[in-house]
Amino acid sequence: MIFGKNSSTSIGGYGNYFYQYNSNLNKSEINLERTVLFFGHKFSDRFSFFSEIEIEDAKVSGGEEGGEIAIEQAYIKFYVSRNTYLNAGLFLPRIGIINENHLPNTYNGNERPMLEQLVIPSTWRELGIGIYTQLDALPMNLSFAVLNGLNSSGFEHGTLIRGGRYEGSKASANNLAFTGAVQYNINKFSFQVSGYAGGTVGFSPKEADSLNLESGPLGTPVILGEANVQYKNKALTIKALATTVSIPDAKQINSAFANNTPESAFGYYVEAAYDLIHNRKSEKKRSLLAFVRYEKMNLNSTIPTNGIEDPTLDQSHVIAGLTYFPIPNIAIKGDVRLSHTGDQNPSLVINPDPTAPPFENDIQFINIGIGFSF
């Protein structure tokens, strides 16, 4: 054995909590959004185990809304060779930036980018097997994974495919998904292209036929494509990401489940951040990032003939703020999110809450919080 102990168990974790003021509701909230513990064990140079256990919103009480306890990852990692390994179990495929790198000290703003919550439903984990390789001769990483697919009966209006994730819990294995990513790093740039294609009907062929849905490994598919580029030069960091989602059989999904599934969605964001204390020689570990991010997305850019358009899902967000790192593992964050949406469609307003405030196209959020990882 070289470079460390042959066998060991490690513990880590991350978490974040923040205060949020919502101008539309004229209301504030403070929440311990996530507390996550990592447990890993290295059996040998080749075999190791890695897991994350997450508690959302601090507690889960019987019958109350909110809160979640979930296994976010639990997989065996097997090194086939020095630069190639397999993950087998519940893991986060390489799609977008946040899904794999979601620790709160790796992104700006108290909230994860809206696009990587709503269009790419991070953190998106499923059961399967993946191969990851890093080339020696080129600064390139490749990954490919076969996973269980999605459940289109779980799709919900407004959250695209998020509700269709099984997240390792009694997932249908009748339908499958294939996902892959290519990362290329050169000098100050890092490029990534990733894709996902998976079936969304896990029923038996007989059940699927009765609902007029196509079953099988890639039946009634969801296809997602994503590309991003990151640039870092001394104090300046720029990130840009774009993604599209296609659900060609959305009409059949709506007929079966009446969940107003769109045929396509898209989104992109651009973020620039600058470390204001980068040039101070005394600041070896501390950094103070000023950042601004613009996000644009439409979660129902095309809808099937039996769908109902919702202009509120055509959104843009401007997020600006500061992230202060007293040490690299702790991020103190303050930001403002200015959100703009299209108008409400009266056809979608059923039994309105009489106490709800009037609809507004523009809402401001003020967020102050702390994130950490270890």
Partner 1 sequence: MLTILESCSNIPLYKTKSENKIVRVPVNAFLKSKYLIVIPLDVSYNITVIKKTETDFHSLVMKCTHADNPVQFIGNEFKCSLHGSIFDNSGKVKTGPAEKPLYSLVTELINNELIINLK
Q: Which of residues 64-103 bind partner 1 (CB under 8 A)?
A: 79, 82-83, 100-101, 103
Would you count residue 48 as binding partner 1 (CB under 8 A)? yes
Q: Which of residues 191-230 bind partner 1 (CB under 8 A)?
A: none
Question: Other C-beta atoms within 10 Å of 8: how many?
Answer: 11
Residue closer to partner 1 (CB basis): 24 or 185: 185
Vertex 306: Cα angle to 304 and 312 (nearest 5):
70
Instruction: Indicate the residue among 106 and 316 with the shorter CB distance to partner 1.
Output: 106
- Candidates 14, 17, 75, 365; binder of partner 1 (CB under 8 A) is 14
Nearer to partner 1, 106 or 153 (CB): 106
Q: The tokens of 120 are what?
A: 């790419």
* Bridge pairing between strands 47-56 and 222-233: unpaired
> How far is 184 from 205, CA to CA, in rounded Å?
41
Q: Is the peptide bond before 123 cis (omega within 30 degrees of 0)?
A: yes
Considering the complex, what minimum distance in angstroms separates the CB of residue 148 from partner 1?
22
Minimum distance, C-beta of residue 309 to partner 1, in the bound complex (Å)? 38
**Spatial separation of the C-alpha atoms in residues 125 and 234, rounded to whole Å:** 33
Please, are residues 243 and 120 in contact by the beta-carbon 8 Å criterion?
yes
DSSP 234-280: TTEEEEEEEEEEE-TTHHHHHHHH-----SEEEEEEEEEEEETTTT-
Does residue 372 contact residue 16 with C-beta atoms inside 8 Å?
Answer: yes
User: Binding marks (x or -) toward partner 1, 355..374, rule CB under 8 A?
Assistant: ------------------xx
Asked if residues 220 and 152 have their Cβ atoms less than 8 Å apart, the reply is: yes
Does residue 25 interact with partner 1 by CB under 8 A?
A: no
| Residue 239 identity | K
Taking CB under 8 A as the criterion, which residues in 164-183 touch partner 1?
Answer: 183
- The DSSP annotation for 292-361 comes to EEEEEEEEEEE--TT----GGGEEEEEEEEEEEEEETTEEEEEEEEEEEE----GGG--S--TTSPPP-S
Instruction: Tell which one of 11, 206, 284, 346 touches partner 1 (CB under 8 A).
Output: 284
- Kindly state the smallest distance separating residue 141's Cβ from partner 1, in Å: 6
- In the complex, the smallest distance separating the C-beta of residue 97 from partner 1, rounded to whole angstroms, is 9
Q: Is 185 in the site for partner 1 (CB under 8 A)?
A: yes
Residue 12 as a binder of partner 1 (CB under 8 A): the answer is yes
Residue 190 touches partner 1, criterion: CB under 8 A: yes
Cα 285 to Cα 280: distance, rounded to the nearest angstrom: 11
- Rounded to whole angstroms, how far apart are CA atoms 8 and 212? 52
- Give me the least distance between CB of 167 and partner 1, in Å please: 19
Nearest approach in angstroms of CB 186 to partner 1 is 6
Tell me how far CA of residue 135 lies from CA of 138, 141, 185, in angstroms. 6, 6, 11
- Contact string (CB under 8 A) for partner 1, positions 231-250, x = contact: -xx-----------------
Please work out the total of residues on this chain that contact partner 1, with binding judged by CB under 8 A. 43
Residue 323 touches partner 1, criterion: CB under 8 A: no
Q: Which of residues 330-359 bind partner 1 (CB under 8 A)?
A: none
Q: Which is nearer to partner 1, 4 or 354 (CB)?
A: 4
Binding site for partner 1 (CB under 8 A): 2-4, 10, 12, 14, 38, 40, 42, 45, 48, 50, 79, 82-83, 100-101, 103, 105-106, 134, 136-141, 183, 185-190, 232-233, 284-285, 327-329, 373-374
